[in-house]
Chains A and B, each alone.
Chain A
Amino acid sequence: MFLEDFVVRAVVAGLGVALVGGPLGCFIVWRRMAYFGDTMAHAALLGVALGLLLHVPTSGAIVLVGVALAGMMTLLLRQGRWGSDTLLGIFSHTALALGLVALSLMETVRVDLMGYLFGDILAVTPENLMWVWGGGIIVLAVLVVLWRPMLSATVHADLAAAEGVPVQAMQFALMLLIAVVVAAAMNIVGILLVTSLLVIPAAAARPFVSTPGHMAVVASGIGSMAVVGGILASVQWDTPTGPSIVVTAFSLFMASLLIGAARRSR
Protein backbone atom coordinates (compact mmCIF):
# COMPACT_ATOMS: atom_id res chain seq x y z
CA MET A 1 0.00 0.00 0.00
CA PHE A 2 3.01 2.29 0.46
CA LEU A 3 3.69 2.25 -3.26
CA GLU A 4 0.29 3.47 -4.43
CA ASP A 5 0.38 6.36 -6.89
CA PHE A 6 -0.95 8.96 -4.53
CA VAL A 7 1.57 8.04 -1.85
CA VAL A 8 4.45 8.27 -4.32
CA ARG A 9 3.22 11.66 -5.56
CA ALA A 10 2.89 12.85 -1.98
CA VAL A 11 6.45 11.80 -1.14
CA VAL A 12 7.87 13.38 -4.29
CA ALA A 13 6.02 16.65 -3.60
CA GLY A 14 7.05 16.64 0.06
CA LEU A 15 10.70 16.02 -0.82
CA GLY A 16 10.61 19.00 -3.18
CA VAL A 17 9.44 21.26 -0.37
CA ALA A 18 11.91 19.78 2.14
CA LEU A 19 14.83 20.29 -0.25
CA VAL A 20 14.25 24.01 -0.73
CA GLY A 21 12.92 24.44 2.79
CA GLY A 22 16.36 23.59 4.24
CA PRO A 23 18.31 26.66 3.14
CA LEU A 24 15.29 28.96 3.18
CA GLY A 25 14.33 27.79 6.67
CA CYS A 26 17.89 28.48 7.83
CA PHE A 27 17.61 32.11 6.72
CA ILE A 28 14.25 32.39 8.49
CA VAL A 29 15.77 31.04 11.71
CA TRP A 30 18.96 33.12 11.45
CA ARG A 31 17.04 36.34 10.80
CA ARG A 32 14.36 35.58 13.42
CA MET A 33 11.66 35.69 10.78
CA ALA A 34 9.60 32.68 11.88
CA TYR A 35 6.58 34.80 12.73
CA PHE A 36 7.00 36.67 9.48
CA GLY A 37 6.85 33.36 7.63
CA ASP A 38 3.63 32.59 9.46
CA THR A 39 2.16 35.90 8.34
CA MET A 40 3.10 35.20 4.73
CA ALA A 41 1.47 31.79 5.02
CA HIS A 42 -1.73 33.22 6.45
CA ALA A 43 -1.85 35.73 3.61
CA ALA A 44 -1.86 32.77 1.23
CA LEU A 45 -5.53 32.13 2.03
CA LEU A 46 -6.32 35.63 0.77
CA GLY A 47 -4.31 34.76 -2.33
CA VAL A 48 -6.43 31.66 -2.87
CA ALA A 49 -9.62 33.73 -2.62
CA LEU A 50 -8.28 36.34 -5.04
CA GLY A 51 -7.16 33.67 -7.47
CA LEU A 52 -10.59 32.05 -7.49
CA LEU A 53 -12.29 35.44 -7.80
CA LEU A 54 -10.17 36.68 -10.70
CA HIS A 55 -9.80 33.25 -12.35
CA VAL A 56 -5.99 33.32 -12.24
CA PRO A 57 -3.75 30.49 -11.01
CA THR A 58 -3.88 30.47 -7.21
CA SER A 59 -0.11 29.96 -6.89
CA GLY A 60 0.53 33.22 -8.74
CA ALA A 61 -2.09 35.06 -6.69
CA ILE A 62 -0.54 33.77 -3.45
CA VAL A 63 2.89 35.07 -4.43
CA LEU A 64 1.43 38.46 -5.41
CA VAL A 65 -0.48 38.85 -2.14
CA GLY A 66 2.59 37.77 -0.15
CA VAL A 67 4.82 40.29 -1.91
CA ALA A 68 2.26 43.09 -1.48
CA LEU A 69 2.00 42.28 2.22
CA ALA A 70 5.79 42.15 2.62
CA GLY A 71 6.15 45.51 0.88
CA MET A 72 3.49 47.10 3.06
CA MET A 73 5.05 45.79 6.27
CA THR A 74 8.50 46.96 5.20
CA LEU A 75 7.13 50.47 4.63
CA LEU A 76 5.37 50.55 8.01
CA LEU A 77 8.39 49.09 9.81
CA ARG A 78 10.62 51.80 8.37
CA GLN A 79 8.47 54.44 10.07
CA GLY A 80 9.62 52.96 13.36
CA ARG A 81 6.33 53.61 15.12
CA TRP A 82 5.44 50.00 15.78
CA GLY A 83 7.55 47.03 16.72
CA SER A 84 7.77 44.23 14.18
CA ASP A 85 5.94 41.87 16.55
CA THR A 86 2.99 44.28 16.73
CA LEU A 87 2.84 44.68 12.95
CA LEU A 88 3.11 40.94 12.42
CA GLY A 89 0.42 40.34 15.03
CA ILE A 90 -1.87 42.70 13.16
CA PHE A 91 -1.18 41.47 9.66
CA SER A 92 -0.92 37.77 10.41
CA HIS A 93 -4.41 37.50 11.81
CA THR A 94 -5.96 40.09 9.53
CA ALA A 95 -4.67 38.24 6.49
CA LEU A 96 -6.15 34.98 7.74
CA ALA A 97 -9.47 36.62 8.65
CA LEU A 98 -9.69 38.45 5.30
CA GLY A 99 -9.05 35.21 3.48
CA LEU A 100 -11.78 33.38 5.41
CA VAL A 101 -14.26 36.24 4.86
CA ALA A 102 -13.47 36.47 1.15
CA LEU A 103 -13.86 32.72 0.67
CA SER A 104 -17.19 32.69 2.51
CA LEU A 105 -18.51 35.45 0.24
CA MET A 106 -17.96 33.36 -2.86
CA GLU A 107 -21.10 31.30 -2.65
CA THR A 108 -20.73 29.80 -6.09
CA VAL A 109 -17.33 28.33 -5.37
CA ARG A 110 -16.94 25.34 -3.12
CA VAL A 111 -13.53 25.19 -1.53
CA ASP A 112 -11.96 22.60 0.67
CA LEU A 113 -11.10 24.93 3.55
CA MET A 114 -9.60 22.20 5.72
CA GLY A 115 -7.38 21.25 2.80
CA TYR A 116 -6.03 24.80 2.59
CA LEU A 117 -5.55 25.17 6.33
CA PHE A 118 -3.97 21.80 7.12
CA GLY A 119 -2.93 20.51 3.72
CA ASP A 120 -4.07 17.59 1.64
CA ILE A 121 -0.86 16.06 0.43
CA LEU A 122 -2.51 12.77 -0.53
CA ALA A 123 -4.59 14.64 -3.11
CA VAL A 124 -1.50 16.12 -4.83
CA THR A 125 -2.02 16.31 -8.59
CA PRO A 126 0.69 16.10 -11.27
CA GLU A 127 0.10 19.85 -11.78
CA ASN A 128 0.85 20.47 -8.08
CA LEU A 129 4.04 18.45 -8.48
CA MET A 130 5.11 20.67 -11.36
CA TRP A 131 4.58 23.77 -9.22
CA VAL A 132 6.46 22.35 -6.25
CA TRP A 133 9.51 21.18 -8.19
CA GLY A 134 9.52 24.06 -10.69
CA GLY A 135 9.18 26.66 -7.97
CA GLY A 136 11.60 24.79 -5.72
CA ILE A 137 14.35 24.62 -8.32
CA ILE A 138 13.99 28.34 -9.11
CA VAL A 139 14.14 29.25 -5.41
CA LEU A 140 17.17 27.01 -4.85
CA ALA A 141 18.96 28.55 -7.83
CA VAL A 142 18.28 32.07 -6.55
CA LEU A 143 19.52 31.10 -3.08
CA VAL A 144 22.73 29.66 -4.50
CA VAL A 145 23.40 32.78 -6.58
CA LEU A 146 22.60 35.22 -3.75
CA TRP A 147 24.10 33.07 -0.97
CA ARG A 148 27.06 35.26 0.02
CA PRO A 149 25.38 38.71 -0.08
CA MET A 150 22.27 37.33 1.60
CA LEU A 151 24.29 35.68 4.35
CA SER A 152 26.39 38.81 4.79
CA ALA A 153 23.27 40.96 5.14
CA THR A 154 21.98 38.45 7.70
CA VAL A 155 25.13 38.55 9.86
CA HIS A 156 25.31 42.35 10.00
CA ALA A 157 23.24 44.60 7.74
CA ASP A 158 25.34 47.77 8.11
CA LEU A 159 28.61 45.96 7.62
CA ALA A 160 27.22 44.30 4.50
CA ALA A 161 25.90 47.64 3.21
CA ALA A 162 29.30 49.27 3.79
CA GLU A 163 30.81 46.47 1.69
CA GLY A 164 28.41 47.22 -1.14
CA VAL A 165 25.72 44.58 -0.57
CA PRO A 166 22.25 45.88 -1.53
CA VAL A 167 20.76 44.98 1.85
CA GLN A 168 17.20 46.11 1.13
CA ALA A 169 17.12 44.14 -2.10
CA MET A 170 18.35 41.04 -0.26
CA GLN A 171 15.58 41.36 2.30
CA PHE A 172 12.98 41.78 -0.42
CA ALA A 173 14.36 38.80 -2.33
CA LEU A 174 14.09 36.66 0.79
CA MET A 175 10.47 37.69 1.33
CA LEU A 176 9.71 36.87 -2.31
CA LEU A 177 11.31 33.43 -1.96
CA ILE A 178 9.29 32.74 1.19
CA ALA A 179 6.11 33.68 -0.68
CA VAL A 180 6.99 31.30 -3.53
CA VAL A 181 7.74 28.40 -1.17
CA VAL A 182 4.58 29.02 0.85
CA ALA A 183 2.56 28.89 -2.37
CA ALA A 184 4.26 25.67 -3.41
CA ALA A 185 4.10 23.99 0.00
CA MET A 186 0.54 24.95 0.88
CA ASN A 187 -1.00 21.77 -0.51
CA ILE A 188 1.36 19.65 1.49
CA VAL A 189 1.09 20.83 5.07
CA GLY A 190 -1.44 23.66 4.75
CA ILE A 191 -1.04 27.32 5.55
CA LEU A 192 -1.29 26.90 9.32
CA LEU A 193 1.62 24.45 9.44
CA VAL A 194 3.78 25.48 6.49
CA THR A 195 6.37 27.52 8.43
CA SER A 196 6.97 24.58 10.74
CA LEU A 197 8.39 22.69 7.76
CA LEU A 198 10.83 25.58 7.27
CA VAL A 199 11.71 26.35 10.89
CA ILE A 200 11.86 22.95 12.63
CA PRO A 201 14.36 21.19 10.31
CA ALA A 202 16.66 24.24 10.40
CA ALA A 203 16.56 24.35 14.19
CA ALA A 204 17.10 20.58 14.39
CA ALA A 205 20.15 20.85 12.11
CA ARG A 206 21.99 23.32 14.35
CA PRO A 207 23.71 20.90 16.80
CA PHE A 208 25.31 18.96 13.95
CA VAL A 209 26.96 21.75 11.97
CA SER A 210 29.63 24.43 12.17
CA THR A 211 29.11 26.42 8.97
CA PRO A 212 26.03 28.05 7.39
CA GLY A 213 26.20 25.99 4.18
CA HIS A 214 26.45 22.77 6.13
CA MET A 215 23.40 23.77 8.20
CA ALA A 216 21.36 24.36 5.03
CA VAL A 217 22.20 20.91 3.66
CA VAL A 218 21.53 19.08 6.94
CA ALA A 219 18.23 20.98 7.32
CA SER A 220 17.15 19.73 3.89
CA GLY A 221 18.03 16.20 4.96
CA ILE A 222 16.10 16.42 8.23
CA GLY A 223 13.12 17.96 6.38
CA SER A 224 13.18 15.05 3.91
CA MET A 225 13.21 12.52 6.76
CA ALA A 226 10.24 14.31 8.36
CA VAL A 227 8.29 14.28 5.09
CA VAL A 228 8.89 10.61 4.31
CA GLY A 229 8.39 9.51 7.92
CA GLY A 230 5.26 11.60 8.34
CA ILE A 231 3.62 10.38 5.15
CA LEU A 232 4.36 6.72 5.90
CA ALA A 233 3.05 7.14 9.44
CA SER A 234 -0.13 8.78 8.20
CA VAL A 235 -0.76 5.96 5.72
CA GLN A 236 0.02 3.33 8.35
CA TRP A 237 -2.10 4.76 11.17
CA ASP A 238 -4.62 6.74 9.12
CA THR A 239 -3.68 10.10 10.67
CA PRO A 240 -3.88 13.49 8.88
CA THR A 241 -0.76 13.81 6.72
CA GLY A 242 0.26 17.46 7.28
CA PRO A 243 0.16 17.25 11.07
CA SER A 244 1.90 13.84 10.95
CA ILE A 245 4.79 15.42 9.03
CA VAL A 246 5.06 18.25 11.57
CA VAL A 247 4.98 15.81 14.50
CA THR A 248 7.72 13.73 12.85
CA ALA A 249 9.79 16.88 12.34
CA PHE A 250 9.31 17.74 15.99
CA SER A 251 10.50 14.30 17.13
CA LEU A 252 13.61 14.76 14.99
CA PHE A 253 14.12 18.14 16.66
CA MET A 254 13.86 16.53 20.11
CA ALA A 255 16.33 13.86 19.06
CA SER A 256 18.75 16.56 17.91
CA LEU A 257 18.43 18.26 21.30
CA LEU A 258 19.36 15.03 23.06
CA ILE A 259 22.26 14.33 20.70
CA GLY A 260 23.47 17.92 21.10
CA ALA A 261 23.31 17.67 24.89
CA ALA A 262 25.11 14.32 24.86
CA ARG A 263 27.88 15.77 22.70
CA ARG A 264 28.36 18.78 24.95
CA SER A 265 28.58 16.70 28.10
CA ARG A 266 31.25 14.46 26.60
Chain B
Amino acid sequence: MMSIPAPIDTPSLIETPPLIEAPPLIEAQAVSLSRDGTLLLDSIDLSLSDREIVTIVGPNGAGKTTLLRVLMGLDAPNSGRVRRRPGLRLGYVPQRLHVDPILPLTVDAFLGLSGNRDKAATQAALVQVGMDSHAKSQVCRLSGGELQRVVLARALLRRPHLLLLDEPTQGVDVGGMAELYRLIGEIRRDRGCAVLMVSHDLHVVMGATDRVVCLNRHVCCTGHPHDVSRDPRYQSLFGREVAGQVAVYTHHHDHVHGPDGQCVVPDKGDENRDRA
Protein backbone atom coordinates (compact mmCIF):
# COMPACT_ATOMS: atom_id res chain seq x y z
CA MET B 1 0.00 0.00 0.00
CA MET B 2 1.33 3.40 -0.82
CA SER B 3 2.08 5.99 1.80
CA ILE B 4 -0.51 8.52 2.81
CA PRO B 5 0.38 11.98 1.53
CA ALA B 6 1.37 14.36 4.27
CA PRO B 7 -1.11 17.14 5.05
CA ILE B 8 -0.15 20.39 3.45
CA ASP B 9 0.04 23.09 6.09
CA THR B 10 1.97 25.71 4.17
CA PRO B 11 0.68 27.55 1.14
CA SER B 12 1.51 25.62 -1.96
CA LEU B 13 1.75 27.19 -5.38
CA ILE B 14 1.34 23.97 -7.30
CA GLU B 15 -2.12 22.51 -7.40
CA THR B 16 -1.45 18.80 -6.90
CA PRO B 17 -4.24 16.60 -8.21
CA PRO B 18 -5.46 14.01 -5.73
CA LEU B 19 -3.53 10.77 -6.15
CA ILE B 20 -5.73 8.06 -7.56
CA GLU B 21 -4.38 5.47 -5.15
CA ALA B 22 -4.71 7.63 -2.06
CA PRO B 23 -7.52 6.42 0.18
CA PRO B 24 -10.36 8.91 0.56
CA LEU B 25 -10.14 11.28 3.53
CA ILE B 26 -13.47 10.06 4.70
CA GLU B 27 -15.86 7.53 3.27
CA ALA B 28 -19.41 6.52 4.13
CA GLN B 29 -20.56 3.14 2.89
CA ALA B 30 -24.28 2.31 2.94
CA VAL B 31 -24.78 4.41 6.07
CA SER B 32 -28.30 4.28 7.49
CA LEU B 33 -29.56 5.87 10.65
CA SER B 34 -33.03 5.93 12.14
CA ARG B 35 -34.28 7.50 15.33
CA ASP B 36 -37.58 6.65 17.04
CA GLY B 37 -38.62 4.63 14.01
CA THR B 38 -37.96 7.45 11.54
CA LEU B 39 -35.40 6.82 8.85
CA LEU B 40 -33.12 9.86 8.78
CA LEU B 41 -30.37 8.54 6.51
CA ASP B 42 -30.99 5.82 3.97
CA SER B 43 -28.01 3.88 2.67
CA ILE B 44 -25.71 6.84 2.02
CA ASP B 45 -22.53 6.40 0.03
CA LEU B 46 -20.19 9.36 0.07
CA SER B 47 -16.48 9.83 -0.12
CA LEU B 48 -14.20 12.85 -0.07
CA SER B 49 -10.76 13.16 -1.57
CA ASP B 50 -7.93 15.51 -0.69
CA ARG B 51 -8.54 19.18 -1.46
CA GLU B 52 -12.04 18.59 -2.72
CA ILE B 53 -14.92 20.98 -1.98
CA VAL B 54 -18.21 19.12 -1.70
CA THR B 55 -21.54 20.72 -0.86
CA ILE B 56 -24.56 18.89 0.50
CA VAL B 57 -27.84 20.52 -0.50
CA GLY B 58 -31.33 19.37 0.33
CA PRO B 59 -34.64 20.49 1.80
CA ASN B 60 -35.27 20.88 5.54
CA GLY B 61 -35.26 17.57 7.35
CA ALA B 62 -33.23 15.93 4.60
CA GLY B 63 -30.66 14.72 7.14
CA LYS B 64 -27.86 17.07 6.13
CA THR B 65 -26.69 17.88 9.65
CA THR B 66 -27.20 14.26 10.73
CA LEU B 67 -24.95 13.12 7.90
CA LEU B 68 -22.23 15.56 8.99
CA ARG B 69 -22.51 14.29 12.57
CA VAL B 70 -22.23 10.66 11.46
CA LEU B 71 -19.20 11.45 9.30
CA MET B 72 -17.52 13.16 12.28
CA GLY B 73 -18.32 10.26 14.57
CA LEU B 74 -20.65 12.29 16.82
CA ASP B 75 -23.52 9.92 16.00
CA ALA B 76 -23.16 6.22 15.23
CA PRO B 77 -25.03 4.82 12.21
CA ASN B 78 -27.44 1.89 12.66
CA SER B 79 -25.90 0.14 9.70
CA GLY B 80 -23.17 0.74 7.21
CA ARG B 81 -19.77 2.13 8.09
CA VAL B 82 -17.79 5.34 8.10
CA ARG B 83 -14.10 5.11 7.37
CA ARG B 84 -11.81 7.97 8.27
CA ARG B 85 -8.22 8.04 7.11
CA PRO B 86 -6.03 7.25 10.12
CA GLY B 87 -4.84 10.44 11.79
CA LEU B 88 -7.47 12.53 10.05
CA ARG B 89 -7.87 15.95 11.68
CA LEU B 90 -11.27 17.57 11.39
CA GLY B 91 -12.17 21.23 11.68
CA TYR B 92 -15.82 21.74 12.47
CA VAL B 93 -17.94 24.88 12.13
CA PRO B 94 -21.33 24.07 13.65
CA GLN B 95 -24.58 25.56 12.44
CA ARG B 96 -25.24 28.08 15.15
CA LEU B 97 -22.99 28.88 18.02
CA HIS B 98 -24.41 30.89 20.85
CA VAL B 99 -22.33 32.07 23.77
CA ASP B 100 -24.32 33.15 26.79
CA PRO B 101 -23.38 36.65 28.04
CA ILE B 102 -22.91 35.18 31.55
CA LEU B 103 -19.79 33.46 30.17
CA PRO B 104 -17.02 36.02 29.69
CA LEU B 105 -15.01 34.84 26.71
CA THR B 106 -12.67 36.85 24.52
CA VAL B 107 -12.04 35.74 20.95
CA ASP B 108 -8.48 34.85 22.01
CA ALA B 109 -9.72 32.62 24.85
CA PHE B 110 -12.27 31.01 22.55
CA LEU B 111 -9.57 30.15 20.04
CA GLY B 112 -7.40 28.77 22.85
CA LEU B 113 -10.08 26.18 23.54
CA SER B 114 -9.04 24.45 20.31
CA GLY B 115 -6.00 23.22 22.20
CA ASN B 116 -3.65 25.10 19.87
CA ARG B 117 -2.29 28.02 21.89
CA ASP B 118 0.45 28.95 19.45
CA LYS B 119 0.35 32.77 19.25
CA ALA B 120 1.57 33.03 15.66
CA ALA B 121 -0.88 30.40 14.44
CA THR B 122 -3.74 32.12 16.28
CA GLN B 123 -2.83 35.46 14.75
CA ALA B 124 -2.51 33.92 11.27
CA ALA B 125 -5.92 32.24 11.54
CA LEU B 126 -7.54 35.52 12.66
CA VAL B 127 -5.88 37.42 9.81
CA GLN B 128 -7.06 34.86 7.28
CA VAL B 129 -10.70 35.18 8.34
CA GLY B 130 -10.35 38.98 8.63
CA MET B 131 -11.00 39.13 12.38
CA ASP B 132 -7.52 40.08 13.64
CA SER B 133 -8.78 43.37 15.05
CA HIS B 134 -11.25 41.49 17.27
CA ALA B 135 -8.83 39.34 19.29
CA LYS B 136 -9.85 40.99 22.55
CA SER B 137 -13.57 41.31 21.75
CA GLN B 138 -16.14 39.42 23.78
CA VAL B 139 -17.55 36.52 21.78
CA CYS B 140 -21.12 37.24 22.91
CA ARG B 141 -20.95 40.73 21.36
CA LEU B 142 -19.99 39.56 17.84
CA SER B 143 -22.51 39.62 15.01
CA GLY B 144 -23.59 36.37 13.35
CA GLY B 145 -21.15 36.78 10.48
CA GLU B 146 -18.24 37.77 12.75
CA LEU B 147 -18.86 34.84 15.06
CA GLN B 148 -18.97 32.48 12.08
CA ARG B 149 -15.52 33.71 11.02
CA VAL B 150 -14.12 33.28 14.52
CA VAL B 151 -15.42 29.71 14.66
CA LEU B 152 -13.82 29.14 11.27
CA ALA B 153 -10.53 30.46 12.67
CA ARG B 154 -10.81 28.00 15.56
CA ALA B 155 -11.36 25.16 13.08
CA LEU B 156 -8.24 26.28 11.18
CA LEU B 157 -6.18 26.14 14.38
CA ARG B 158 -6.73 22.37 14.38
CA ARG B 159 -4.72 22.32 11.12
CA PRO B 160 -7.50 20.23 9.59
CA HIS B 161 -7.27 17.88 6.63
CA LEU B 162 -11.00 18.30 6.29
CA LEU B 163 -13.18 21.30 7.14
CA LEU B 164 -16.84 20.59 7.87
CA LEU B 165 -19.18 23.57 7.76
CA ASP B 166 -22.85 23.29 8.65
CA GLU B 167 -24.76 26.08 6.89
CA PRO B 168 -21.88 28.51 7.29
CA THR B 169 -23.84 31.45 5.88
CA GLN B 170 -26.81 31.26 8.19
CA GLY B 171 -27.50 34.70 9.61
CA VAL B 172 -25.03 36.26 7.16
CA ASP B 173 -26.23 38.87 4.65
CA VAL B 174 -25.94 38.30 0.92
CA GLY B 175 -22.71 40.24 0.52
CA GLY B 176 -21.21 38.35 3.43
CA MET B 177 -22.21 35.03 1.86
CA ALA B 178 -20.21 35.53 -1.32
CA GLU B 179 -17.30 36.75 0.80
CA LEU B 180 -17.49 33.66 3.01
CA TYR B 181 -17.46 31.31 0.02
CA ARG B 182 -14.51 33.22 -1.41
CA LEU B 183 -12.76 32.75 1.94
CA ILE B 184 -13.48 29.02 1.97
CA GLY B 185 -11.98 28.70 -1.52
CA GLU B 186 -8.94 30.67 -0.38
CA ILE B 187 -8.51 28.44 2.67
CA ARG B 188 -8.60 25.33 0.49
CA ARG B 189 -5.97 26.86 -1.77
CA ASP B 190 -3.68 28.07 1.04
CA ARG B 191 -4.00 25.17 3.44
CA GLY B 192 -4.71 22.31 1.09
CA CYS B 193 -7.62 20.97 3.10
CA ALA B 194 -10.79 19.42 1.75
CA VAL B 195 -14.12 21.07 2.55
CA LEU B 196 -17.51 19.50 3.15
CA MET B 197 -20.34 21.94 3.70
CA VAL B 198 -24.06 21.98 4.08
CA SER B 199 -25.85 24.83 2.38
CA HIS B 200 -29.21 26.35 1.68
CA ASP B 201 -27.97 29.10 -0.62
CA LEU B 202 -28.29 26.99 -3.74
CA HIS B 203 -27.67 29.72 -6.27
CA VAL B 204 -24.61 31.11 -4.49
CA VAL B 205 -22.97 27.86 -3.54
CA MET B 206 -23.18 26.32 -6.99
CA GLY B 207 -20.26 28.40 -8.17
CA ALA B 208 -18.21 27.66 -5.07
CA THR B 209 -18.04 23.90 -5.06
CA ASP B 210 -16.43 21.06 -7.02
CA ARG B 211 -19.20 18.60 -6.41
CA VAL B 212 -22.76 18.74 -5.15
CA VAL B 213 -24.51 16.00 -3.26
CA CYS B 214 -28.26 16.40 -3.35
CA LEU B 215 -29.65 14.77 -0.23
CA ASN B 216 -33.18 13.89 0.75
CA ARG B 217 -32.54 11.14 3.33
CA HIS B 218 -30.98 9.24 0.45
CA VAL B 219 -28.56 10.65 -2.11
CA CYS B 220 -30.82 11.87 -4.93
CA CYS B 221 -28.06 12.80 -7.28
CA THR B 222 -24.46 13.87 -7.14
CA GLY B 223 -21.90 15.37 -9.45
CA HIS B 224 -20.59 18.62 -10.88
CA PRO B 225 -22.87 21.54 -9.92
CA HIS B 226 -23.59 22.23 -13.58
CA ASP B 227 -24.86 18.69 -14.15
CA VAL B 228 -26.73 18.38 -10.88
CA SER B 229 -28.67 21.59 -11.48
CA ARG B 230 -30.00 20.07 -14.72
CA ASP B 231 -30.80 16.71 -13.17
CA PRO B 232 -34.57 16.12 -13.15
CA ARG B 233 -34.33 14.57 -9.67
CA TYR B 234 -32.72 17.75 -8.40
CA GLN B 235 -35.28 19.93 -10.17
CA SER B 236 -38.19 17.95 -8.73
CA LEU B 237 -36.73 18.28 -5.24
CA PHE B 238 -36.36 22.06 -5.34
CA GLY B 239 -38.95 23.03 -7.92
CA ARG B 240 -38.22 23.85 -11.51
CA GLU B 241 -38.13 27.59 -11.05
CA VAL B 242 -35.48 27.64 -8.33
CA ALA B 243 -33.46 24.97 -10.05
CA GLY B 244 -33.67 26.88 -13.32
CA GLN B 245 -32.17 30.00 -11.77
CA VAL B 246 -29.35 27.92 -10.48
CA ALA B 247 -28.66 26.44 -13.88
CA VAL B 248 -28.40 29.91 -15.47
CA TYR B 249 -26.13 31.13 -12.73
CA THR B 250 -23.68 28.22 -12.80
CA HIS B 251 -23.57 28.28 -16.57
CA HIS B 252 -22.45 31.89 -16.42
CA HIS B 253 -19.67 31.06 -13.99
CA ASP B 254 -18.46 28.12 -16.00
CA HIS B 255 -17.24 30.68 -18.49
CA VAL B 256 -15.46 32.73 -15.89
CA HIS B 257 -13.69 29.94 -14.06
CA GLY B 258 -11.88 26.83 -15.09
CA PRO B 259 -13.32 23.47 -14.09
CA ASP B 260 -10.36 22.80 -11.80
CA GLY B 261 -12.06 24.81 -9.08
CA GLN B 262 -8.95 26.84 -8.38
CA CYS B 263 -10.88 30.09 -8.04
CA VAL B 264 -14.22 29.06 -6.66
CA VAL B 265 -16.13 32.32 -6.35
CA PRO B 266 -15.69 35.40 -8.49
CA ASP B 267 -14.18 38.38 -6.75
CA LYS B 268 -16.47 40.92 -5.18
CA GLY B 269 -16.71 43.13 -8.25
CA ASP B 270 -17.94 40.25 -10.38
CA GLU B 271 -20.36 39.19 -7.72
CA ASN B 272 -21.94 42.62 -7.49
CA ARG B 273 -22.26 42.86 -11.25
CA ASP B 274 -23.95 39.46 -11.34
CA ARG B 275 -26.46 40.54 -8.80
CA ALA B 276 -27.31 43.81 -10.51
Partner-B contacts on A (CB < 8 A): 29-30, 32, 148, 151-152, 154-156, 158-163, 203, 206, 209-212, 214-215
Contacts and interface: CB of A to CB of B under 8 A. Distances in A.
B113 A206 contact: no
B149 to A, nearest CB: 15
Contact of A163 (B97, B99, B158): B158
Give the interface size bracket for B toward A: 20 to 34
A235 to B, nearest CB: 34
Given A158-B92, A210-B104, A163 B110 contact: no
A29 B104 contact: no
B145 interface: no
Contacts of B92: 158-159, 162-163
A29 B103 CA distance: 8
A162 B72 contact: yes
A212 B94 contact: no
23 contacts: A29-B102, A30-B100, A30-B103, A148-B115, A151-B113, A155-B103, A155-B110, A158-B74, A158-B92, A158-B94, A159-B92, A161-B74, A162-B72, A162-B92, A162-B94, A162-B164, A163-B92, A203-B102, A210-B106, A211-B105, A211-B106, A212-B109, A215-B104
B74 to A, nearest CB: 5
Contacts of A148: 112-113, 115
B252 to A, nearest CB: 36
A209 B138 CA distance: 11
Contacts of A158: 69, 74, 92, 94
Contacts of B106: 210-211
A214 B103 contact: no
Interface string B153-166: 01000100000100
A65 B112 CA distance: 36
A160 B92 CA distance: 9
A152 B104 contact: no
Interface string B217-258: 000000000000000000000000000000000000000000
Contacts of A156: 94, 97
Given A211-B104, A212-B105, A214-B104, A155 B99 contact: yes
Most buried by B among A151, A152, A162, A215: A162
Contacts of B154: 159
B103 A154 contact: yes
Interface of B: 69, 72, 74, 90, 92, 94, 97, 99-100, 102-106, 109-110, 112-115, 138, 151, 154, 158, 164
Given A159-B151, A163-B158, 15 more contacts: A30-B102, A148-B113, A151-B113, A154-B103, A156-B94, A159-B97, A160-B113, A162-B90, A163-B90, A163-B92, A163-B115, A203-B102, A210-B106, A211-B109, A212-B103
Nearest to A151: B113
Most buried by A among B92, B103, B138: B103
Contacts of A215: 104
A58 B103 CA distance: 34
Most buried by A among B72, B74, B105, B113: B113
Contacts of A211: 104-106, 109
Contact of A155 (B90, B105, B164): B105
A154 B106 CA distance: 15
Which 8 A/B pairs are nearest by Cβ-Cβ distance? A162-B92, A152-B113, A30-B103, A209-B104, A210-B104, A162-B72, A211-B109, A158-B94
A158 to B, nearest CB: 5
Contacts of A206: 102, 104
Contacts of B99: 155
Contacts of B90: 162-163
B34 to A, nearest CB: 15
A29 B164 CA distance: 30
A234 B151 CA distance: 49
Contacts of B105: 155, 211-212
A38 B115 CA distance: 33
Nearest to B98: A156
A163 B104 contact: no
A78 to B, nearest CB: 12
B153 to A, nearest CB: 13
B74 A163 contact: no
A152 B99 CA distance: 11
A215 to B, nearest CB: 5
A215 B99 CA distance: 16
